[in-house]
Amino acid sequence: MTVKDDSDTRDRRRRILDAALQVFGTKGFQKATNRDIAEAAGGISPGLIYHYFKDKQDLFLCMLRERAAIMALVDHPQQLMDLPLRQGLTLIGRSYLTMMRVPENVALFRIVLAETLHFPEVATMIRQHFVDRVFGVVRAYLQHQIDLGRLRPHDTGVSVRTFLGGILIHVIAREVLRQPEALQISDDQIVALAVEIFLHGLSLEAEEM
């Protein structure tokens, strides 16, 4: 395959992913069809989508993966495991937050929120392929920090939800509810405060206070 062929393949795949985001945003995952996506991608053949993606679910999951910065940590967790607590939590927080920051990703977040509330099978798909993997890596990182004596023993499942959930609330307030005060808070401020609250609550020093 030539360089031009590679470039054409990447461009066509990107066009399909962008079209899928547009169609899922207007029709939802369940109601969207490959024909809708093919038309939005410039009138390509619906069958061509299967050349790049196994099915509509694979297309949706690929769209999520490519727009979620935190999946780079999930795919290569060792780069996270060796980091000290503050640096590691900051990296996790920033990756988690920035994936829902750009306009296209905000639209995707709204799609995911709407679809998971109305269709249990979509919620299961996202949980298995995305949420469980992210939580698993962050839990492993926290357990590693416990083993190193940097955190006191605790239920890491609860602490992962507490840490990421605190950031998610800011995203909902800012990007979905458009609360004026939330719009004034920067990403760095959100992550820094989440890290501070987490560390001060679980540090070994806090247990002695």
CA–CA separation, 136 vs 139, rounded Å? Answer: 5
Residue range 115-137: average pLDDT?
A: 91
pLDDT of 203 strictly over 70: no
Write down the pLDDT at residue 104: 67
- Model pLDDT, residue 205: 60
CA 46 to chain centre: 28
Q: Which of 37-41, 43-47, 108-112, 148-152 is the least confident region? A: 108-112
Report angle CA 101, 71, 48 to the nearest 5 degrees. Answer: 90
Mean pLDDT for 12-29 is 91
- The one-letter amino acid code at 128 reads Q
Other CB atoms within a 10 A radius of the CB of residue 23 amount to: 22
Hey, how many other C-beta atoms are within 10 angstroms of the C-beta on 54?
A: 11
pLDDT digits (tens, 9 = 90+) for 73-104: 899 999 899 899 999 999 999 988 877 666 66
One-letter-per-residue 3-state SS of 81-112: HCCCHHHHHHHHHHHHHHCCCCHHHHHHHHHH
Q: Helix or strand or coil: residue 35?
A: helix
CA distances from 123 to 73, 115, 155 (A): 22, 7, 24
pLDDT, tens digit, 9 for 90 and up, residues 58-73: 999 998 888 887 888 8
d(CA 101, CA 105): 6
In the prediction, which pLDDT does 5 show?
62
The dihedral sign for the CA sequence 185, 190, 192, 193: positive
pLDDT of residue 3: 47
pLDDT at position 165: 92
Q: Residue 26: pLDDT above 60?
A: yes
Q: What number is the average pLDDT over the span 100-121?
A: 79
Mean pLDDT of all residues in 174-191: 90
Query: What domains lie within the chain, and their CATH numbers?
Result: 3-63 (1.10.10.60), 68-208 (1.10.357.10)
pLDDT band at 162 (very low <50, low <70, confident <90, very high): very high
The reported pTM is 0.81
